[in-house]
Amino acid sequence: VTDEQRFAELRSRLQEVDDLRKATWVLHWDLETMMPPGGAEVRAEQLGTLAGIAHERFTVDELGELLEALRGYEGELDYDSDEASLIRVARREYERARRVPAELRAEMVRAGSHGKQAWLRAREANDYAVFRPALERNLELQGQYIECLDGTADPYDVLVAEYEPGLTTADIAAVFEELRDQLTPLVTALEPPEEPPLDLGLSDRESRAAVDRVLARLGFDRDWGRVDTSVHPFMINFGTRDVRLTIYKEGGLRTVYAALHEFGHGLYERGVDPALERTLLAQGASGALHESQSLLWENLVGRGRPFCDWLARELGGVDPQALYRGANRIERSLIRVDADPVTYSLHVIFRFELEHELVSGALAPADLSEAWNSRVADYLGLAVPDDLRGVLQDMHWSDMLMGYFPSYALGHVASAQIWERASADLPQLDEELARGEFRPLAEWLRERVHRHGQKFTTPETMERAVGGGFDPEPLLRVVRSKLNSS
Amino acid sequence: VTDEQRFAELRSRLQEVDDLRKATWVLHWDLETMMPPGGAEVRAEQLGTLAGIAHERFTVDELGELLEALRGYEGELDYDSDEASLIRVARREYERARRVPAELRAEMVRAGSHGKQAWLRAREANDYAVFRPALERNLELQGQYIECLDGTADPYDVLVAEYEPGLTTADIAAVFEELRDQLTPLVTALEPPEEPPLDLGLSDRESRAAVDRVLARLGFDRDWGRVDTSVHPFMINFGTRDVRLTIYKEGGLRTVYAALHEFGHGLYERGVDPALERTLLAQGASGALHESQSLLWENLVGRGRPFCDWLARELGGVDPQALYRGANRIERSLIRVDADPVTYSLHVIFRFELEHELVSGALAPADLSEAWNSRVADYLGLAVPDDLRGVLQDMHWSDMLMGYFPSYALGHVASAQIWERASADLPQLDEELARGEFRPLAEWLRERVHRHGQKFTTPETMERAVGGGFDPEPLLRVVRSKLNSS
């Protein structure tokens, strides 16, 4: 058996696993956007079965033996080559996955499905207590999961490694502490805005039509993508040429910016080198890198003056200055996904702190709603009136996405770093954006970030994108500039 | 190990296989209704992988050993019990599936996906030649598939057994010959109708709203179902409480009746005993039984005078007599799915003859378009102007559904038998239908047909539904009555 044959077998096995995973994603997407409620129970079983089989196929001994046998071959290849990267990343994921029994994985998927339903019921009742049992179950399973993996300095490190390969809890805490120390005095000093939120006067249908026009101009092509509605917007894709965005059913400026956010995620997946299709490299490098792309389009393109000028013309009959002010309305608020770029990071930082405490056991689920409300009071100076505007606002903890929140703020940090770099490389960028020409920026992002997919770790990808690690300074420069101009 | 433990293991293995199959169906549904075109290539791979794994899991030695070990247990159980039925039907399918290699199955799924795309391209070009290579590939694979199975009297028997367990090609030919002999003189004597097709004057949007209202009244509940659009209407379900119908994008009376047809399929799946959920028994008994349900709602309910009276009131401003005449317009026509209940069976009978000849090798794919056109000339007395209105009208041969056509005409036959029986058991039926009360009929069907799912073969299910086998007389009575009343 030659190394080339071994590699071909590895690739073929990984393609099969990728097909299974993407099939699971199709079922998830359908559950969120299309499925009648009666389908929930059987769907949870289907998702559990598929995830279990994907895990089983990914963790067979033969795959480990192939990875072992290919060490020499890998060493001869360029580190950056698709082949070496596939072996390297597959080995990292294999070693991680081998320690977690298929039954636990399947149970986590099932619990995620059930948790999601419980979260939706709790939201309807506006009562965290309805969701608490599901959260307790999720934490119990999360704990079992962490136990399966190496005893790291901090149990939360296991979750960090899942979304941000190459980083630790301590790395993240260092970035967040600087951000928090700089932001807190600025945010607590914020006066309520004088103007009410901008009302574009668009119906739901008109907003949807506007979103469709804006996305088309941005280059979101119905040949490789589609847009639907769901409770919470998201992006998911089943191949580099099948990218699904969802937006809110309700219209308004918020929906336009949520669409920009999900577009950023979708463009990343679309930009992955097609040579990586049907492998685990055909996806964004990490949560933070993914969020850097969504936040770049939402905040740095979308809330910039040039884009607002273009958007005002595109919407017709909207004053550009009013639109710009409306899009940059800074206000301490209760809902993370509606937060402005100034206060946003603090929303994420206290979620990181809370879930870190939940995972370490320092905080009991019974106390979570109160802990949430007290953190909002301390950091944002706001009183949380009910769970819907508090602890029930995000679906992550219902769906086993514990550990993902830090990626949002890291992505926020990275988005400003990448934006500064792109602006330096593309001297005409402002003029292009003002004319609604988005291709030069999209191509720059593809070249610097998207095409690599998951070939490299979070720090390695940052190195290729901006020539260094996470640095909160560019984001703080954006924040200060927004505060000075308002 | 006790028999109960063995049975529990069998059930659990079959549930896993069912989850995989239903997942495949979700991917199929998405492909037909939602997927952007760019997703096609990767989706074909995903479908191939899933079907391959489902087949692999269903054909493992351990399952055969369990089925063997459970023979004694099965013998002690009531034939009609869920447990004995699951063992019996699983054994039949297992023995069939074991003879077909996983690679061939996966290749057939892939070829079906590619064939479907080729069919769509051929339809766009209105040229059978564009589709022919895909059909040749499909036939080649179909031939390999038949070779894997027992040398039956007729190779086509293998396909009949797939859709109509318990029947042979000869059984079908006998029913079809009588039908054809009786119908041909009636159909060839038909004069073109004097009135043009009924135009309800509804826009696509109004038709869709009307379909939604009618379906709601029929009992199609958005808690367990949804309706989308596709090139060709179909029903698919992923559980007894997740039933998807599709209808044409285009409005009009045709869309209303297509919705009734798919509703009949959906109600069947919804009516299967929930105790059978997540097993291979949780589906309609056969193609013919399924079509009996769709055609019963489309033709015998939907084109009956009482329903037309109700529908005219429901649509508002429509003359009941005009609606009834429009719904029962009898005309020799080119398109099967638009054919009236009088001419319909002949469309199916010549398709059965053609695919029987294709499979036996008596007809070459190169000659199919001409053979089709000459059969239409002989049976219906019509000239086929182009492939779109000829051989390219049905997707079955593109998607490896060779052998399914007979089920349509058998279902037509069965629908009239079941209708006569239901009418005898429900003396108030006409009055109920005229008032838009559909529950008594739906409940009768559930009790006599739906709840059994796939526990029994085609003849066994017919026995339970009407107390006998296929008999064309009731259908011929309907045909004669339609001809006399027009």
Of B24, B222, B239, the CB nearest to A42: B239
- Looking at residues B66-93, what average pLDDT do you find? 97
Shortest distance between the Cα of B238 and any Cα of chain A, in A, equals 8
**Strands of the sheet with A243-247, listed across from one edge:** A225-229, A243-247, A235-237
- Looking at residues A284-310, what average pLDDT do you find? 97
Read off the pLDDT of residues A269-292 as tens digits, 9 standing for 90 and up: 999 999 999 999 999 999 999 999
For residue B486, pLDDT over 60 is answered with no
Q: How confident is the model at residue B317 (pLDDT cuts 50, 70, 90)?
A: confident
Of A38, A45, A224, the CB nearest to B36: A224
- The pLDDT value recorded for residue B153 is 78
Shortest distance between the Cα of B40 and any Cα of chain A, in A, equals 8
CA B59 vs CA B94, B99, B111, B151, B457: distances in Å: 6, 9, 22, 21, 21
Read off the pLDDT of residues B193-229 as tens digits, 9 standing for 90 and up: 988 889 988 888 999 999 999 999 999 999 999 999 9
Q: Are A36 and B242 a contacting pair at CB < 8 A?
A: yes
Question: Residues B363, B77: contact at Cβ < 8 Å?
Answer: no
Q: Are B26 and A22 a contacting pair at CB < 8 A?
A: no
Q: How confident is the model at residue A486 (pLDDT cuts 50, 70, 90)?
A: low
Best of A31, A41, A42 to substitute, by most chain B Cβ atoms within 10 angstroms, is A42
- The pLDDT value recorded for residue A484 is 85
Read off the pLDDT of residues A195-215 as tens digits, 9 standing for 90 and up: 888 998 888 899 999 999 999
B262, B269, B291, B353: which is the annotated catalytic residue? B262
What mean pLDDT value characterizes chain A?
A: 95
pTM of the predicted model as reported, rounded to 2 decimal places: 0.89
Best of B13, B46, B212 to substitute, by most chain A Cβ atoms within 10 angstroms, is B46
Best of A12, A17, A19 to substitute, by most chain B Cβ atoms within 10 angstroms, is A19
Shortest distance between the Cα of B450 and any Cα of chain A, in A, equals 18
Mean pLDDT comparison of A224-233, B200-209, B443-452, highest-scoring range: B443-452
Of B23, B36, B43, the CB nearest to A46: B23
- The pLDDT value recorded for residue B126 is 97
What is this model's ipTM? 0.89
- The pLDDT value recorded for residue A295 is 96
- Looking at residues A375-389, what average pLDDT do you find? 94
- The pLDDT value recorded for residue A251 is 86
For residue B482, pLDDT over 80 is answered with yes
Reduced to 3 states (helix: H, G, I; strand: E, B; else coil), residue A168 is coil
Q: How confident is the model at residue B433 (pLDDT cuts 50, 70, 90)?
A: very high
Read off the pLDDT of residues B335-363 as tens digits, 9 standing for 90 and up: 998 888 899 999 999 999 999 999 999 99
Angle at B302 between CA B450 and CA B432, to 5 degrees: 75
- Going by their DSSP bridges, the two strands A225-229 and A243-247 should be labelled as parallel
Read off the pLDDT of residues B358-378 as tens digits, 9 standing for 90 and up: 999 999 999 999 999 999 998
Read off the pLDDT of residues B35-52 as tens digits, 9 standing for 90 and up: 999 999 999 999 989 998
Q: How confident is the model at residue B105 (pLDDT cuts 50, 70, 90)?
A: confident
Shortest distance between the Cα of B240 and any Cα of chain A, in A, equals 8
Of A19, A46, A242, the CB nearest to B39: A242
Chain A residues within 8 A of B50 when measuring between CB atoms: 19-20, 23
Of A19, A37, A49, the CB nearest to B45: A19
Inter-chain CB pairs, A–B, below 8 Å: 123
Read off the pLDDT of residues A248-274 as tens digits, 9 standing for 90 and up: 988 889 899 999 999 999 999 999 999
Interface of B to A at Cβ within 8 Å reads 15-16, 19-20, 22-24, 26-27, 30, 34-39, 41-43, 45-46, 48-50, 53, 222-226, 238-239, 241-243, 277-278
Chain A residues within 8 A of B224 when measuring between CB atoms: 36-39
- Looking at residues A184-197, what average pLDDT do you find? 90
Chain B residues within 8 A of A41 when measuring between CB atoms: 239, 241
Does residue B262 carry a catalytic annotation? yes
